[in-house]
Amino acid sequence: MIQEAAARLLRRDMDPYEWQNKTAGTWATMVWIGSGLFLYLTTKDASLLSWSALVFFVVGMFAAATIFGVGFYLLQLGIGKALVKVVKTPTQSVATAIRAIGLVLLIIETVIIYVAASWVFHTIT
């Protein structure tokens, strides 16, 4: 599963927008799974072999990809379109700033997904 996700992330032969959308959904799913594993393995009375875990992982993976993956993809797309209008001449400093914006968005997305996963976890367990 991880090898398949990594291969999907590295695949660049598709449309760049489609690739970015799939990457955003895959990232959201992986963060949801990682958050869930952390929460279930570090909480004393929680079990990975339970109905709550099954619901958390199965429903949560699809919800995370749809809500967070698509949401942050659209946000990135909007920021990209705004930057194209603002930046007239691409330079190295502009490229560095755009990479920094992307990294900050990725960190924010990860934190938001973890907080949402934690809330769902504590609600259903």
Give residue 62's pLDDT.
Answer: 96
Region 43-48: mean pLDDT is 95
- pTM for the whole thing? 0.85
Rg value, the chain, Cα: 17
Indicate the average pLDDT of the chain. Answer: 90
Domain that holds residue 99: 2-124
Number of domains in the chain: 1
Residue with more model confidence, 20 or 112: 112
**Using one digit for the tens of pLDDT, what is the confidence trace for 51-110?**
999 999 999 999 999 999 999 999 999 998 999 899 988 899 988 998 999 999 999 999
Q: Alpha-carbon torsion 91, 97, 103, 109, what sign? A: negative
